[in-house]
Structure 1
């Protein structure tokens, strides 16, 4: 098994293919995007930004990295990796995008799982995130992939060029995912289940909303392949990992001051991890 960078990028300004040359990515129209010293490229035009510094902050990225590297979500990463590699031919190269890659934890775990399989295909890896701090961290941690600052709403990727798209606790944009996937390629979606981190939510919110009814319909452009539930318990000891977990979730901003204070006072916490891993095939 070998890994390589993903090369089928598209210009975020006109959609033309980008070619890598002399430390930059360029399209035929002359648009040029420098590759940073750390190895990533910024393909998020200013008109597609909703703020000066969109996405996770430097502190949030650091918190997520500490929490994930402690292994709390490794069972999720292993299940995702197995799903990515399932039914993949051993010959040829499997191209995979993590759309909302953060600091690259799930792609690094994919490489580790693939290296443990004798018949795993070669991997061409692409990580895209709107946070420059996340992409910077990912590029520093793993040089064997292409790392891009970009947005799921306008992926800087050539049409029909990917075998797998991952969207893990992220913001799915199904028309874009369908556009960049090859016919028969797969979208792997991880979303929180009704009991995910319930114990934390019960502490930081005055009341916990009832779970939403599951949506059995496949998104437009896709057919449902399979869906599985991952459910297990984790134990957090000390205030630091609890603070890291809160910092890496939307609950940090949704909770009120009193809820955040209650969380900050905790020194240990038992939690339920409850997620849904769904696989969808791009319609031919």
Structure 2
């Protein structure tokens, strides 16, 4: 049985995408069953070549989806509220059912700021108990939806309801397709709801309310800190300000498995990515573009 994994990223995040993909390979026994669906935009030929090196090390399959060539994605990205921190690539996961082939029954979506350190076969053998998706509760979900004094959007979200983080979502593709997520998003945009909520994550929580299976926290360890190492997390999610690809020692000491992450990314790519980020930072600082 094939195990399908989807990643979405742009050219400024190619190295973390590689690290996430390689961590899946390193910690999964049935590597020959892995199929990676790489949904990308603005990807340079050199960075694509870096990603393709994964097949030199592992017997996996790569499937490429150039979102710059997708009229649907371009339309969505142009009209929907822009996530300035993550870019509008976040909306790509909503299109998963329209991108993958009909033979894909289940797919694991992963954000690219993740490190996997347990066999994902567990997720593909999991009984979804009739639910459309499986995910992990976000520990600050009520703050995301309610914001100051937990009072905002009370007509949309009840803080007593469980709210999932969409960085790791195990998807039953048929149920995802049946939910008509793009259609629901268009309706939410027309009614003004999309302009009020936290991008696609809030939308998915509205669509799949009471229709998702709650997984143990360790399958999406949010804001992964050094202390989490003692709790044996399965998937680390670096949602905090400090990232494992930082080069300042103080930053690295605060995040979980920073040294492991560097070697999963590989030393060569880690330091090339550091130079890429510094170059990009100076360009923005000097007003020379992104």
Asked if TM exceeds 0.5, the reply is no
- TM category (shorter chain) comes to under 0.3
- TM-score, length of structure 2 as denominator length: 0.27
- TM-score, length of structure 1 as denominator length: 0.27
Q: Which has the higher strand share?
A: 1
Q: Which has the higher helix share?
A: 2
